[in-house]
Amino acid sequence: MYNVIEEVIDYLRKVPPFQFLDEETLKTITKDVSMEFYPKGTTIVYQGGPLGEHIRVIKKGGAKVSLGFSEADEVIIDYRGDGDLIGYLALFDSGASRANVVAVEDTICYLLKLDIIAELIKTNPAVREFFHKSFLSKFLDKAYKEIHRKSLPYSVGGNIFFTTPIEELATKKVITASPDISIQEAANIMSQRKISALILSNSNNTPVGIVTDRDLRDKVVAKGRSLSDPIKDIMSPPIIRADAKEYGFEALLKMIKHNVHHLLVIKDGSLKGILTNHDLMLFQGTSPVALVKDIENQQSIEGLVPLSKRVDNIVGLLLKEGVRSGDIGRVISEINDRLIRKILEIAEQKFGDSPVSYCWIVFGSEGRKEQTFKTDQDNAIIYEDPVSDADNETIKEYFAEFTVFVREALLRCGFPPCPADYMASNPRWCQPLKAWKRNFSNWILVPTSEAILNSIIFLDFRPVYGDFNLSELLRDYVIYLLREQKVFLGHVANMAIKNMPPLGFLKTFVVEKSGEHKDQLDLKTKGIAPIVDIARLFALEKRIRETSTLERIEALRDKHQIIKEHGDELEHAFEFIMLLRIQNQFEQIKERRQPNNFINPDRLSNLERRTIKEAFQVVSNVQDLIIERYKAMIW
Amino acid sequence: MVTTRMRLRKRELQLYDSEYSITNQQYVVIDTELTGLDETKDSIISIGAVKMDGRRIELGKAFHKLIKPQCNMKSESILIHGITPAEVEKKPLIEGVIREFLNFCGMDIIIGHFVSIDMSFINKEVRRILGSVMRNPVLDTSLIYGYLKKKYAQRDIFISYPGDVELYELAKRFGIPVNGAHDALIDAFITAQLFQRFIPLLIGAGIRRIGDLLSFGSPFSTEARYRLSGEIVNF
């Protein structure tokens, strides 16, 4: 017999945190469930009013959460939709409601008794986790998909991508085998024929599965599976098909939608070929691998200039492919590193070998491998300690011309000079190892405000070319210096909490109050910089060598208590804000504007807004923990 | 300080107070499934009901009972309700169910869609079994709809067409899901949701007091409509 509560249970089964509950618990919490209807415009909860005895789960509809007692001073702080909760703060904070909640459309809510949920938090770790942690990860995947969908209309390859049928792009030579052969036999075929994917077909020649290099790695080697097992145990069915007449962008859409890297190209009902995402990239001339090869083959700066322009297209392509922002940064850094190395090689040919061994280092976003589109040059030279002052003069003369040449070459390749002159062409930043050691000890031991600024800039240094050992020796020394440097860390902690992310934004989140970027959100200083600063502070505390934010978080996972607890959240927040920035800059470039870090909140979707708010909340929470730790030194 | 007892006392007074707000009433929304519409031959085969506390539907307080019918079931009602005679055979007799139902309803205001049919079948049984009838105030959502239609004639949602007052038609209009099989409880639940949608519209039309709502929303005569203060309903 039908029971009206079953409908509630069915709904809650899809909604976190209730989805973590077993049948029995769901029955218990819905024993006294009730249901309310609020027409559009109804106030569900009043600011300053009682919180009531219920948590509301929105079954259908939407509500805005706002502060203020009249329309004039209303500040909207959040939107809630299907499956979202209203009034859960009451679980942790008895007393009056802190906000108004108003239905923005006709809204139906299920009401669950507060004391039952409170009990659940005590007994169920998953529910506790949900309420105590932010909701960030819940939105992250959805938000990612949305962004990638958004970047699809930009066709990097231009019209051809929309007019060329995939049969012209696909690899025509398809190798098939029986699904009954062993894993080893399949691998043998793949290695002999030099293919990355093998199609398994049954006796009617109908494809039933595919095995890729990745399957062999993930499902066989990593799992220690026996090589004599049949290949069908690890193949991936069903295979996604595309018609030979479909266009490139349709194929790409399919790949993204189904999260596959191979498509079977079918013509007149039979297998015609196989299309990989690599085929698509090559077709567009924007394969990162192809670009790196082209860079390696250049002999002159003139040859490098056109290649450097292709880097932006690669960002666009990676965005489309759904690559995470951290990985986009890594790919772009790798390409830029190659470009710099090539420029330095060309410079060495021009000026003759350097009189001393040296290391070209980069810092700032380049040092952290967080570059996407071209940013200011931040570079320096560490050279081996000279034997005599005379030697040093010769070296200085050599590098004077050499570094100016490199600076100009980088400029031609799209990297503008650093306005603050943090470049190797500035003699202050072209120094022997011992001078660099002296610099760092001055900065760390006598932390004036300029010293802190310099150390923050240079601490993210990373070697790109030359004698990496010099860079490693300097890193050793910095790590040695950082023992027991409470005062210095206190200064860095102050930096890390200086930029508070704007929490009360949403809908009309006005962040910049005046100037050119009025009403826009500065993603770099409000979102990215705080996380970079936090990761750097913790890296210095634990004296680890990593320089990129994501690598620092990874390395600190077992070492730092805050990262142990909040590492995932910080990583997600960072990836998400970075992705938004890359996406925004890519759009600006497409519109032939200078890319910047400002985002117009009106261009964000609801989901993106919510996700970025969650990301900001994470940053704010961690900043609070830092304030707690360093409270004696916070000013 | 307001004690629980005082609050309960107030609650009790409110029940009989036609001046009191429609959002502060205890309602019980009911529906029955019948073997047919002939009061002399047909009988009740199931009763469904769900409570409402003001505008809040209390899903946890639901009543649903299948009843062994006193006459042979007609094939067309089998088709409608999907209840086969074999299923019904095992069910309890009407006497016990009616007592449970009266206990469930207590003194709450009864709501139903075309509720006079349900009430006449129920009261026939109550009279037979207990020698009395239910004296709870009764509201009919079809009558409330008729009233609102006049008040909100300009709104699309109240445009007239043949059959517009049928429960499922109204539910569809007001965005209430009606998918799946229907039984007495589901229909009572749909009716409850319909009444829930009506409450803000009634308030918007100036109907705030239960007495005003009963004046046009009840299918029965004025005398039967109000309970006399202090009357004890003893089943």
Q: Give the Å distances, CA to CA, from A465 to A339, A358, B38.
A: 11, 8, 97
For domain A309-481, the CATH superfamily is Beta Polymerase, domain 2 (3.30.460.10)
For residues B8-18, give the mean pLDDT.
48
Q: In this predicted model, what pLDDT tens digit does every residue of A116-163 receive, in sequence order? A: 888 887 788 777 777 655 444 444 444 555 555 544 443 333 334 555
Q: In this predicted model, what pLDDT tens digit does every residue of B164-175 receive, in sequence order? A: 888 998 998 898
A4-130 carries CATH number 3.40.1190.10:
no
Residues A81, A108: Cα–Cα separation, whole Å:
10
The helix or strand, by DSSP H or E, that contains position A56, with its residue range, turns out to be strand A54-60
* Torsion of Cα atoms, A596 then A599 then A604 then A610, to 10°: 120
**Cβ-based burial of A484 (10 A; exposed 0-12, middle 13-18, buried ≥19):** exposed
The pLDDT value recorded for residue B46 is: 92
Q: Which of A8-22, A266-280, A477-491 has the lowest mean pLDDT?
A: A266-280
Q: In this predicted model, what pLDDT tens digit does every residue of A486-498 receive, in sequence order? A: 889 998 998 888 8
The helix or strand, by DSSP H or E, that contains position B159, with its residue range, turns out to be none
The pLDDT value recorded for residue A471 is: 95
B59 vs A1: CB contact, 8 Å cut-off? no
For residues A580-591, give the mean pLDDT.
83
Q: In this predicted model, what pLDDT tens digit does every residue of A61-88 receive, in sequence order? A: 888 877 666 665 566 666 777 888 887 6
B57 vs A35: CB contact, 8 Å cut-off? yes
A2 vs B181: CB contact, 8 Å cut-off? yes
For residues B26-52, give the mean pLDDT.
91
Which residue from A minimizes the CA distance to B187?
A4
Q: Give the sheet arrangement for strand A262-267, strand by strand.
A: A241-243, A262-267, A270-276
The pLDDT value recorded for residue A87 is: 77
Using CA of residue A96, residue A97, residue A99, residue A102, what is the dihedral sign? negative
A36 vs B57: CB contact, 8 Å cut-off? yes
Beta strands in A305-378 (DSSP E): 358-362
CB A573 within 8 A of CB A619: yes
User: What are the domain boundaries of chain A?
Assistant: 4-130, 162-283, 309-481, 486-510+517-633
The first and second tokens of residue A605, run together, are: 């979707």
Using CA of residue A437, residue A442, residue A444, residue A450, what is the dihedral sign? negative
Q: How would you classify the pairing of strands A207-212 and A197-201? A: antiparallel
Closest CB from B56, B59, B186 relative to A8? B59
Q: Give the Å distances, CA to CA, from A534 to A461, A551, A563.
A: 17, 13, 10
Confidence of residue A1 (pLDDT cuts 50, 70, 90): very low
The pLDDT value recorded for residue A531 is: 94
Which residue would you say has higher pLDDT here, A278 or A410? A410
Compute the mean pLDDT over every residue in chain B, rounded to the nearest whole number: 81
Closest CB from B56, B186, B189 relative to A36? B56
Interface contact B30, partner A, CB < 8 A: no
A34 vs B59: CB contact, 8 Å cut-off? yes
Cis peptide before A238 (omega within 30 of 0): yes
Which residue in A12, A27, A34 has the most chain B C-beta atoms within 10 A of its own C-beta, making it the best mutation to test that interface?
A34
Question: Residue A31: its chain B contacts at CB < 8 A?
Answer: 60
Confidence of residue A502 (pLDDT cuts 50, 70, 90): confident
The pLDDT value recorded for residue A291 is: 75
Closest CB from A4, A36, A110 relative to B189? A4
Helix/strand/coil (H, E, C) string of A324-345?
Answer: CHHHHHHHHHHHHHHHHHHHHH
**Cβ-based burial of A55 (10 A; exposed 0-12, middle 13-18, buried ≥19):** buried
Q: Which range scores top for mean pLDDT: A613-617, B42-46, B71-75? A: B42-46
For residues A566-573, give the mean pLDDT.
90
B58 vs A106: CB contact, 8 Å cut-off? no
Which residue would you say has higher pLDDT here, B19 or B131? B131
For residue A463, is pLDDT > 60? yes
Query: Number of C-alpha atoms within 13 angstroms, CB side, residue A130?
Result: 23
Q: Which of A3-17, A110-124, A391-405, B8-22 has the lowest mean pLDDT?
A: B8-22
Which residue in A4, A7, A44, A116 has the most chain B C-beta atoms within 10 A of its own C-beta, making it the best mutation to test that interface?
A4
pTM of the model: 0.49
Question: Residue A12: its chain B contacts at CB < 8 A?
Answer: none
The pLDDT value recorded for residue A522 is: 84
Q: In percent, how much of chain A has pLDDT > 90?
A: 27
A3 vs B183: CB contact, 8 Å cut-off? no
For residues A231-258, give the mean pLDDT.
74
Global ipTM? 0.79
Question: Residue A54: its chain B contacts at CB < 8 A?
Answer: none
- Look up the CATH architecture of domain A162-283: Roll (3.10)
Question: Residue A103: its chain B contacts at CB < 8 A?
Answer: none
The pLDDT value recorded for residue B9 is: 44
The pLDDT value recorded for residue A508 is: 39
The pLDDT value recorded for residue A249 is: 62
Question: Residue A56: its chain B contacts at CB < 8 A?
Answer: none
Could you tell me the domains of chain B? 22-225 (3.30.420.10)
For residue A207, is pLDDT > 90? no
Q: In percent, how much of chain B has pLDDT > 90?
A: 43
- Asked if the domains A162-283 and A309-481 are classified in one and the same CATH topology, the answer is no
Compute the mean pLDDT over every residue in chain A, rounded to the nearest whole number: 81
Which residue would you say has higher pLDDT here, A254 or B2? A254
For residue A528, is pLDDT > 60? yes
Interface contact B152, partner A, CB < 8 A: no
Q: In this predicted model, what pLDDT tens digit does every residue of B73-132 receive, in sequence order? A: 555 566 556 666 666 667 788 889 999 999 999 999 999 999 999 999 999 999 999 888
Other residues' Cβ atoms within 10 Å of the Cβ of residue A202? 14
CB B37 within 8 A of CB B117: yes
